[in-house]
Amino acid sequence: MSEILLESIVEKLEGLEIALLKKDDTKENDPTGILLLKEVKALQAGITKLASSHSETNEKVQNLTSAIALLKASSGIPPQGKASHTHHLHKGIWVAIALSILAASFLYGWIRSSVSKEKYRANDILYRYLKVNGNSESLKGLYHIDSLYKSNSDDFIKHVEQQEENLAEQVRLMKEAGEKKKEGDELKHSLDKK
């Protein structure tokens, strides 16, 4: 649009120059007319240069715009207008989750210690009952057990745990033997029917 404006200004100046030349009452040696004519020609040449430099500048801007678009396409930069939204949890939420897990683990430990404390109290009362109401044979056995525990508690604990494991193994073997015997009886019974 600015090129059209510049062209129209140049045409108006040419028209003004022609009008000045055609004017009959001006003398050829009139210094103001000659000066005015020179100024119009200089203005006309300046506007022509401006129009040509404007078109060159416009071409350069278009070349730069295409080069920038090409550079953006080759660099992998996403086009503007596309927004990617990411959601992050606030640090306070993470702290709340961590504190909740910590509180739950403390509650679990508290419940377990309460259960073991109840077992301890029950065993303590049972032991005290045996000491108070037991006959002389059971009291001798209890005092003997107490002395064994007090003399070497680590060996005593290991011995008791080993005996408990042996007893659990015997119970497991007896259970398996009972199941095998039951399977054998069922097999024998099914063979007798045939």
Whether 86 is in a domain gets the answer no
Q: Which domain holds residue 16?
A: 2-75
Whether 98 is in a domain gets the answer no
Q: Are residues 138 and 167 in the same domain?
A: no
Whether 32 is in a domain gets the answer yes
Q: Give the gyration radius of the chain's Cα atoms.
A: 56
Q: Show the DSSP H helices in the chain as ranges.
A: 2-22, 31-75, 91-133, 136-151, 153-193
Instruction: Going residue by residue through the chain, which has 194 residues, state the pLDDT in tens, using 9 for 90 and above.
Output: 566 767 777 777 777 777 766 664 545 566 776 777 777 777 777 777 777 777 778 888 888 888 888 777 777 666 666 677 787 878 889 899 999 999 999 999 999 888 888 888 887 887 777 777 878 888 888 888 888 888 888 888 898 889 989 999 999 999 999 999 998 888 888 888 76
- pLDDT at residue number 109: 92
- pLDDT at residue number 78: 62
Q: Are residues 56 and 67 in the same domain?
A: yes
Whether 96 is in a domain gets the answer no
Q: Model-level pTM?
A: 0.33
d(CA 87, CA 28): 84
Whether 13 is in a domain gets the answer yes
Q: Residue 125 corresponds to which tokens in the numbers above? A: 């009362």
Q: Residue 127 corresponds to which tokens in the numbers above? A: 């032991």
- pLDDT at residue number 191: 82
Amino acid at 150: K
| Phi, psi (degrees; rounded to nearest 5) at 97 | -65, -45
Q: How many residues does the chain have?
A: 194
Q: Are residues 168 and 136 in the same domain?
A: no
User: How many domains does one find in the chain?
Assistant: 3
- pLDDT at residue number 104: 96
Whether 85 is in a domain gets the answer no
Picking from 36, 42, 47, 38, the residue whose alpha carbon sits closest to that of residue 11 is 47
Whether 114 is in a domain gets the answer yes
The three-class DSSP label of residue 78 is coil
- pLDDT at residue number 34: 73
Q: Are residues 117 and 163 in the same domain?
A: no
